[in-house]
Amino acid sequence: MKRTKLFNFSIFFVSFGFFFYLFYIQCVRHRYYDEKAKNQHEKKFVLIGSRGNIYDRNGCPLAMSQQCFTIFCTPRYSRNKELLVDNLSILSGKPKMRIRELVDKGDFFWVETKVALERRDQYLACGDESVGYTHDLNRQYSMPEVFSSLIGKCGSDNRGIEGLELQLNDVLTGKSGFAIYQKDPTGDIFPYHDHPEKNPRPGRDVYLTIDYQLQAILHANLRIAMVKEDAKYAAGLIIDPGTGELLAMVNVDCDGDQRNHALCDEFEPGSTFKLVTMTYALLEGVSEDDLIDTEGGKLNVAGHTIHDYRDYGIVTFKQAIAHSSNVAMVKISQQFDRQDFFLMMRDFGLGQTSGIEFPGEVKGRLPVSEEINDVEFATLVFGQGLTVNLLQLAFAYQSIANGGALNKPIIVQEIKDGNKVVYLAKPLRVRRVVDRETADRVTKMLCGVVEDGSGVDAAVSGVEVAGKTGTAQKVVNGRYSNTSVITTFVGYFPADSPDYLIAIMLDEPKRGLWASRIVAPVFRSIAQSIYHIDAQRYAVN
């Protein structure tokens, strides 16, 4: 009797354990074993969502994504490793010894990335089960030398790492999908009815304000100037003064560096800063015809001598601007209210970032008004002791060209999701710097610079140009150098109703020292090209 009970109890205990384990497997661990089974008879392929394209303002493609593939190898699945080594070495172009090391190691490895469809098929034609592929995308750029510092580039994972590719990465990046295929007992893959899938979504397309043709013109002229003057680098901008749209942004470097110097480098502006000084002087009641004695080209300020390029004698305020007299600027500024003058610098957008959709913009540096002495303020009014980037300097002039209103720089014109416009840029006024009457007076004085002053080599036949040269000494070993300079020119045309503003900078030209002879002719060449293009367009229309 006892044995029967013990036997029945044992049967019950084993049965209970069996059914409990069955319950555990089917209910508690259902998800785990379900996934494990799927992994054995299903294969999930990730379908990469293509990255959005980048176009210029007229729809010309600047950055596009093309479908490609990445080849991999899992050596343990190979049935003929000697043949595998030979095939991979021939197709990839890699040394046979290196391929053999990877195959003998037995671990998964990547053979070749971003190959075209034809190349993928050549790998698969080897018939080796250890060779496979994944879907990938290859980013292609139009005229990379011309646009590289602006557009930037993507990394191997198709994420932006520089330039607009980085700044707009979230907009351009697509959303991946997937497709699940059945695997038979031999490991072959095939689709089956109603297999789960999710279509990838491409990223959004971005249309820039940049004009492809103007970008090419600016790049060609800057490269010629950089080589001719043996400069470290050259940078330039073309802007629509009425809207703040950037029509071209170019950086060329003697050593091939792709840095965006126009936004990411700061420098002392030199005489181009006199725009601020002359504007403030006009607001304070100084007249264009007021006479100024330049003291023989030398002026002593607290034991420090301010120099002019030469003795200009007694000149009007307008002539002082035309000839870029430092002495005249200092004498006029002696009556300035320093606090108000510093506020005007801020109103022009100096010492602060512009808000452009681009990574790495520096904001420059302005001195503290309460901490500078008389000598430092004297040199400040002709552009020493502060730093700006080229975009800030250009937009200070943009505010005058735009009738006294400073605009926010615009580089993204619109964003599209398929055919639907999801973002459309509109001109944005930051602030009114001066009234229109004062802006017109400043423009006329800047026209005098080009007509009969330091900017005569920037003059364009048939169109009135307003502009200003700037030659700034660089600080070397704590002192201003007489040989290392930055030369700049900023100008706009037609002066009475500007369509274009051009800002140019050359860093450390070695075959000349003066902006009037180095960058003013570059401005003229660029402006003439633009002027002729517009004339042809109007003639066609």
| DSSP structure string for 454-512 | TTGGG-BTTB--EEEEEEEEEEETTEEEEEEEEEEEEEEESTTS-SEEEEEEEES-SS-
For the question of whether the overall pTM of this predicted structure is more than 0.85, the answer is no
**How many other CB atoms are there within 10 angstroms of residue 314's CB atom?**
10
- Give the contacts of 428 (CB within 8 A, at least 6 positions apart): 244, 407, 408, 410
Angle at 350 between CA 297 and CA 329, to 5 degrees: 15
Residue recorded with tokens 């506020």? 343
Token pair recorded at residue 372: 């500078």
User: What pLDDT does 190 receive?
Assistant: 47
Contact 230, 511 (CB under 8 A): yes
Q: Per DSSP, what are the bridge partners of residue 154?
A: 160
Percent composition of the chain: helix, strand, coil (DSSP 3-state, to 5): 40, 25, 30
Closest CA to 430 of 494, 361, 515, 347: 347
User: What pLDDT does 511 receive?
Assistant: 87
Token pair recorded at residue 204: 């959004």
Task: Give the separation between CA 251 and CA 152, rounded to whole angstroms.
Answer: 12
Token pair recorded at residue 21: 């384990």
- Give the contacts of 180 (CB within 8 A, at least 6 positions apart): 42, 43, 44, 45, 195, 196, 197
- pLDDT (tens digit, 9 = 90+) per residue, 353-394? 998 989 889 999 999 988 899 999 999 999 999 999 999 999
Domains of the chain: 51-170 (3.90.1310.10), 212-540 (3.40.710.10)
Q: Specify the DSSP class assigned to residue 402.
A: T
Residues of the chain predicted below pLDDT 50: 188-190
User: What pLDDT does 460 receive?
Assistant: 93
Residue 150, burial from CB neighbour count under 10 angstroms (0-12, 13-18, 19+): buried
**Dihedral of CA 524/527/533/535: which sign?**
negative
